[in-house]
Amino acid sequence: MVKCTECEAEIKVPNDSVEGEIVTCPDCGASYELEKSDQGFTIKPAQAVGEDWGQ
C-alpha cells in the first residue's frame, strides 16, 4: 500500500502491478503513476492527457 499525497488515504497496489501503471485513490479520486523502488512501489502524480480533437 501507498499513501495518497492529496488526502493521506491508503491506496492498495495490486500484487501484479507494473511500473508505469496508473492507480486511483479510492477517497479523493487522484490518479498516480507507479514507480519501482527498493521497497516495492512509490507513486507520482499521473500526467493529465487532454483531448485534442484534431486541433
46's grid cell = 499521473
Mean pLDDT of 22-35: 96
When divided into structural domains, the chain yields a total of 1
Whether 37 maps to a domain, the answer reads: yes
CATH code of the domain in which 29 resides: 2.20.28
Higher pLDDT, 32 or 50: 32
Supply the mean pLDDT for the chain.
89
State how far the Cα of 18 lies from the Cα of 27, in Å rounded to an integer: 22
pLDDT at residue 7 greater than cutoff 70: yes
Whether 54 maps to a domain, the answer reads: no
Residue 32's domain comprises 2-45
State how far the Cα of 4 lies from the Cα of 8, in Å rounded to an integer: 5
Whether 34 maps to a domain, the answer reads: yes
Whether 53 maps to a domain, the answer reads: no
pLDDT above 90 covers a percentage of the chain that reads: 71
